[in-house]
Structures are given as C-alpha cells and as structure tokens.
DNA sequence: CAAGATTGACCAATCAATCTTT
DNA sequence: AAAGATTGATTGGTCAATCTTG
C-alpha cells in the first residue's frame, strides 16, 4: 500500500491550515468593514479585467474554478444588488454576457484596501519576497500535478 | 495605501488555487469510492489518536479549527451513523466525552488508502521531498503570522 | 458572569433534473 | 446529442440566542 512520506504529510497539513487561516483573516476583515465576501471580489475583478465585452458565465466559471451552478447563483446575488448586469448574448442565443456596473467597480475599489492590508500584514510579515517567490513556484507545481 | 508586492500576490493566488484543487481531488476520490468527506476523516483521526479517554468537544474543535457549532453539527452526524459515541463527562457536568467506535475505526481505515493515494499521486509526483519540506516551512511561517 | 455546548432560523452550496440553442 | 445555463429540493454552514454548569 502506498504511504506518503513525512514531507508530503507536512506539506499537505500546512497547505490546508494556512489556506484556511489566511482566508479566515481576509474574510473576517471584510466582514468587520461591512463588506461582502471574497468570492464577490474575485468575480468583480474578473469582470472588470474583461472590460467592454464583459464575460460569458462559462468563462467566469473557468476563471473562478466554480461549478456551473455555483457561478449561476453567485451572479444571481451580484445582479440582485446591482453590482453586475446580465445581457443577452449576440453570437450565441443560449448564453449571456455579464458586465460589471459602476456600483460594482466602486464596491471592488472599496474592498481592495482591506484585502490588500491583510495580505501585507500576513504574507509580507511572514516571508521575504525571495522566499515567497520560491514557495509560490512549489505550489504552482502542485497545481499542475493535480489537474 | 499599502500594496502587496507581486511575490505576495503570486503566493496568495497559488495558495488559494492549490488548496482548492488538491482538496477537490481528495474529496472527489473519496466520493467516487462511496466514502464520507475529509472532515469526517479528520475528526475520526483525532478521536483515534486520543485513545481511551476520548476528547471533549472543545478540544476536538481546537484541533480541527472549526467553530463551536460546526463541531457540534459534525459530531451529530458522526454519532448519527454510529462512528462516534457521546458520553457524559465525569469531571465537568457541562461537557461530554467523545469516543470513536469500532465502526469509526473501521471507516477511518477504509478512507486512508484512498486519501493517501491522492496525496502520493499529486504532492509526490510534483515535488521532490526536499522541496516539499522547504515549502512546508514557508507555509508554517504564514500560519504563525496569521494568528 | 464566563465557559461548554446545543439549537432554530436563515443563507449558501450541492445534486440531479430541466430547458434552450447549437 | 452536446454545450450553456438555470432551478427545485436537499444538505451543510453560519448567526444569534439559549441552556446548563463552573
């Protein structure tokens, strides 16, 4: 039977713990500031990067690594509070185009300083840039191996 | 205004992506084998390590990094299917002792090969032990900085 | 009152089924 | 039939309130 080596176990447990602890910090800071969750930020950022044409739901889905229904429900909420618009799609009658609204841009801009502040206070306080870079490369190898 | 450096952003995004992608792999493999989710494994393992005396819910909670109500609901499910037992606590009338049952041990033993297989297939396929060790140390520094 | 633990009500995530267009 | 997207029903997670004992 296969048994992972101690380095593998250590990396796995630290990966699970660090991602949860950091995520909690960021989400906690957003909530404390009366702002929406990180998932909203991610979606707004992708739509803002896409500019004029907007994005099709399936494209947003790929970028956010969400299931199809997850995207559908997330977009429902964003549309519900006026941060995103749904428009019929010209080229493909099955689909739509999603576009960020002015309110959406404003919300993302309000969220960023809070988000950025936590990243600086945790990641940059913990690791010099050179080490952060090496760790990022190792994680990148994990990502490629897992899909 | 604070702005995280590019290495910080890269590490953060890889951390979020790698943890999600690897977790999906492991959860997917468990589900495909008709087994319960990883959260059950984690709880069963802690209770098995605790041996005879069992664990108080608050102690399990600390080890699993769950909120109090989260632990309560998780234990509900484990007790519901007979993998864990709740016993009144001798020293402290407010609390209980949680103990893994024989069925609980058997379930953990069935889950481990599936879990271990995915770790080997992803982590060990991606990184030599020496690099895994260095990455684990970097993540450990992140964990300490975040709490 | 603080600590350990649970619970009702609500929100979010998931599954399977569905609908439309290609 | 496959791709894009949504939806009803269920399950799981979260919040605030509650209960009991220290």
Q: Give pLDDT tens digits for A97-109.
A: 999 999 999 999 9
Q: Out of A19, A117, A141, whose CB is closest to B15?
A: A19
Residue B22, C-beta contacts closer than 8 angstroms, at least 6 positions apart: A12, A15, A142, A146, B118, B122, B123
Cβ–Cβ under 8 Å, residues B36 and B77: no
Nearest to B61 by CA among B47, B81, B49, B48: B47
Contacts of A139 in chain B (CB under 8 A): 11, 14-15, 17-18, 135
The whole-angstrom distance between B1's CA and the closest CA on chain A is 7
Q: In this model, does residue A137 exceed pLDDT 90?
A: yes
How far apart (Å, rounded) are the C-alpha atoms in residues B89 and B74? 19
Mean pLDDT (whole number) for A129-147: 97
Evaluate if the CB of A99 falls below 7 Å from strand D. no
Residues of chain A (46-85) having a beta carbon less than 7 angstroms from strand C: 67, 69-70, 73-74, 77
Which value, to the nearest 10 degrees, does the dihedral of the CA atoms of residues B81, B83, B85, B86 take?
-70
For the stretch A8-40, pLDDT in tens is: 999 999 999 999 999 999 999 999 999 999 999
Helix residue ranges per DSSP H, chain A:
6-32, 38-50, 57-64, 68-80, 102-119, 125-126, 129-146
Angle between helices A38-50 and A6-32 (to 10 degrees): 90
* Strand D contacted by B73 CB (< 7 A): yes
The whole-number pLDDT of residue B147 equals 86
Nucleotide nearest to B93 (CA to C1'): D21
Spatial CA neighbour of A83 closest among A119, A35, A115: A35
Please identify residues in chain B, positions 16-55, with a C-beta within 7 angstroms of any atom of strand C. Answer: 31
Nearest CB partner across the interface for A123, out of B4, B116, B130: B4
How sure is the predictor about A147, in pLDDT bands with cuts at 50, 70 and 90? confident
Maximum separation of any 2 CA atoms in chain A, in Å: 57
Distance CA A68, CA A55 (A): 14
Q: Which nucleotide is nearest to A39 (CA to C1')?
A: C12
Is residue B10 within 8 angstroms of chain A, CB to CB? yes
pLDDT at residue B15 in the model:
98
Q: Any idea how long chain B is? A: 147
Across the interface, of B120, B139, B145, the residue whose CB is closest to A4 is B120
A62 touches chain B (CB under 8 A): no
A41: closest CA among A95, A141, A91, A115? Answer: A115
- The set of residues, in sequence order, having a beta carbon less than 8 Å from that of A100 and lying 6+ positions away, is A44, A47, A48, A54, A83, A84, A85, A108
* pLDDT given for residue B1 in this prediction: 81
The per-residue pLDDT for A6 is 98
Q: What is the pLDDT of residues A67-120, one digit of tens each?
A: 999 999 999 999 999 999 999 999 999 999 999 999 999 999 999 999 999 999
Distance from CA of residue A144 to its chain's centroid? 18
CB B39 within 8 A of CB B96: no
- Across A36-63, average pLDDT: 96
pLDDT digit string, tens, across residues B25-82: 999 999 999 999 999 999 999 999 998 889 999 999 999 999 999 999 999 999 999 9
Task: Identify the helix (H) or strand (E) that includes residue B31.
Answer: helix B6-32
Tell me what the mean pLDDT of segment A118-126 comes to.
97
Structure token pair of residue A115: 């988000």
């Amino acid at each position: 039977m296969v048994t992972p080596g101690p380095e593998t176990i250590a990396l796995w447990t630290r990966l699970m713990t660090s991602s949860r602890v950091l995520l909690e910090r960021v989400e906690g800071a957003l909530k404390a500031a009366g702002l929406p969750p990180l998932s909203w930020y991610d979606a707004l950022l992708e739509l803002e990067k896409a500019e004029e044409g907007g994005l099709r739901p399936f494209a947003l889905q790929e970028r956010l690594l969400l299931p199809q229904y997850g995207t559908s429900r997330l977009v429902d909420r964003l549309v519900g509070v006026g941060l995103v618009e749904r428009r019929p799609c010209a080229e493909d009658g099955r689909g739509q185009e999603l576009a960020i609204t002015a309110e959406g841009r404003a919300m993302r801009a309000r969220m960023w300083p809070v988000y950025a502040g936590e990243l600086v206070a945790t990641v940059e306080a913990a690791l010099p840039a050179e080490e952060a870079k090496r760790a990022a490369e190792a994680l990148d190898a994990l990502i490629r191996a897992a899909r």
